[in-house]
Amino acid sequence: VDLVGGITCVAYGIVIPCCFAVLFAKQHVIMQQSKIFFIACDDDSQGKVHLRLEFCEKSATFQESKTANLLVAAAAAHVAVHIRGNAAVELHKDEVIVTSLDGDSTQHHTVSAESLILPMTQKHTNILNRNAMMRMLTERILLEEAESDRIMMGAKRLLCKYASCRNVRMEVALKLASMALVSVVTARDGPWLSVAICLAMALVIGVARPYAKPQVNALQSFSFSCLSVAALGFSHRFVQVARLALVAPLLLVVVQLLRPDSAQGLALRLQEELKDKIPEMQKGEVVEVNAEQLRLL
């Protein structure tokens, strides 16, 4: 047991974090391109939204194909957050125009940790959500361009699991938390230390929301909270409470299955749909997309 524990601690505490450090450094270099431009948004009197690609320096520029991909990603993020129903997308040289075909754009109501701490209107929250989705889609475009880097290509699936590639550090945090839980099992205050570790991880994941899918964020945070309750239940001989705490995440999964979609998932689908139609849009065609999320109830 001591040998297995020692090997686990070395692997989870040293080897794996070092590997992730190399990956984090490489993705940080590749993602520098996302910091030299931003998307400007303007509304006109006809209800059309103009999304333009603006560079921090006037001399900076991208290839036409890359610019089109970035503009399409911006349109997908805007539609996913602000529009429910059908929308028309027009692609031009330096901008993309989005028009809601089912009336005025709707406001996607969300509750975030920031809105609970600071007074923010729903409009500001939606803008922040849209910008976060734009960054997520932009990073995926940059990852696709790094085809020559075998490390990045091998880690693409792992990186795309997160809302931002820099959130891959959460993998290190999870490994360190696992190592800490193993090491405190035999300690005198093991149950309380386990509770502290689990609650800390639940709080970090709940506030940071590192994963691209909000369902995963909720499930991870809730699971760590249930682990803390289970630790208290086992330490105080409340077996039924501990068992219920261990079953609770499964019940949450069942509830999430009723609404498996999200704005982030919708944005990814819209990006793929619009990306395939870029040649048609470059010829002046207007593409119509549907911005409805999948819900069983």
In whole angstroms, how far apart are CA 229 and each of 177, 178, 215, 241? Answer: 17, 17, 21, 8
- pLDDT for res 107: 52
- Confidence label for 51 from pLDDT (cuts 50, 70 and 90): very high
Mean pLDDT, rounded, for 20-43? 87
Mean pLDDT, rounded, for 23-48? 86
In whole angstroms, how far apart are CA 47 and each of 42, 98, 100, 137, 183? Answer: 10, 9, 8, 25, 59
- pLDDT for res 188: 82
Tell whether pTM > 0.85. Answer: no
Average pLDDT over the chain, rounded to an integer: 87
> What would the two tokens of residue 56 be?
């921090």
Q: What is the DSSP string of 149-208?
A: -HHHHHTHHHHTTBSSGGGGHHHHHHHHHHHHHHHTTTSTTHHHHHHHHHHHHHHHHHHH
Instruction: Say whether pLDDT at 26 is over 80.
Output: yes
Share of the chain above pLDDT 70, in %: 93
Consecutive H or E run containing 45 = none
> Pairing mode, if any, of strands 95-100 and 48-55?
antiparallel
- pLDDT for res 114: 55
Tens of pLDDT, residue by residue over 143-180, are 888 877 888 888 888 899 999 988 988 988 898 898 88
Instruction: Say whether pLDDT at 9 is over 80.
Output: no
Mean pLDDT, rounded, for 262-278? 94
- pLDDT for res 133: 93
- pLDDT for res 250: 96
- pLDDT for res 52: 92
Tens of pLDDT, residue by residue over 114-150, are 555 555 667 788 888 899 999 999 999 998 888 778 8
- pLDDT for res 224: 96
- pLDDT for res 61: 83
- pLDDT for res 256: 93
Q: Starting at the earlier edge strand, list the strands of the sheet with 85-91.
A: 37-43, 48-55, 95-100, 85-91, 287-291
